[in-house]
């Protein structure tokens, strides 16, 4: 969930509601791990015991539940949509090497953090959702700008400073593998 990612310090490179067969996603929020690592946020490195990734993954599942509740939809009917998120949470959690008790406590904290973020900042989620329905895909710079505007953020942020987020041509170069 992009807004929760930004609120806990992540750098988004791209979000989309389109299916991406190469990535195996029905929609995705991709992060700029290189720039995050340069800024001291190595969350995606193998062996990282950073629970923020789990919070972000829970945010998608919790947002789905919140949307179902708000629209009076049957959440059980839609639950299969977030199966990939639950699978990723399970795998990421196992890689942390925590005891069962520590793992459950961490997952509860992450669920609560995601719930709190989404409850407090639902307008940012709605802003992004509207833009994605209109355009299908947003570059990280666009997503950060929309979320920051929805949250009335005005302080400097390394994720939006010049040269910190890849330009469109840099993103295309990275995707091409050249």
pLDDT 10s digits, 69-100: 888 988 888 777 677 778 878 887 777 778 88
pLDDT under 70: residue ranges of the chain: 1-9, 20-21, 23-26, 42-50, 81, 158, 160-178
Q: Flag whether 142 is in a domain.
A: yes
In which domain, by residue range, is 83 found? 2-170
Q: Flag whether 58 is in a domain.
A: yes
CATH number at residue 121: 1.20.58
Q: Flag whether 178 is in a domain.
A: no
Q: Flag whether 175 is in a domain.
A: no
pLDDT, position 136: 87
The b-or-e profile of 124-134 (16+ CB within 10 A means b, else e) is: bbebbeebbee
Q: Flag whether 177 is in a domain.
A: no
pLDDT, position 116: 92
What's the number of domains the chain is made of?
A: 1
């Amino acid at each position: 969930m992009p807004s929760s990612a930004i609120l806990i310090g992540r750098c988004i490179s791209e979000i989309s509601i389109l299916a991406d067969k190469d990535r195996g996603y029905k929609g995705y929020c991709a992060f700029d791990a290189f720039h995050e690592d340069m800024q001291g946020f190595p969350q995606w490195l193998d062996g990282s015991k950073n629970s923020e990734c789990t919070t972000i993954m829970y945010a998608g599942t919790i947002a789905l539940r919140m949307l179902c509740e708000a629209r009076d939809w049957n959440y059980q009917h839609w639950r299969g949509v977030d199966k990939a998120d639950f699978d990723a949470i399970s795998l990421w959690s196992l890689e942390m090497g925590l005891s069962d008790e520590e793992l459950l406590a961490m997952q509860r904290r992450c669920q609560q953090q995601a719930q709190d973020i989404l409850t407090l900042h639902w307008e940012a989620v709605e802003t992004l959702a509207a833009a994605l329905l209109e355009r299908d895909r947003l570059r990280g710079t666009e997503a950060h700008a929309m979320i920051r505007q929805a949250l009335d953020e005005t302080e400097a942020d390394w994720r939006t400073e010049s040269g910190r987020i890849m330009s469109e041509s840099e993103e295309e170069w990275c995707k091409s593998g050249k």
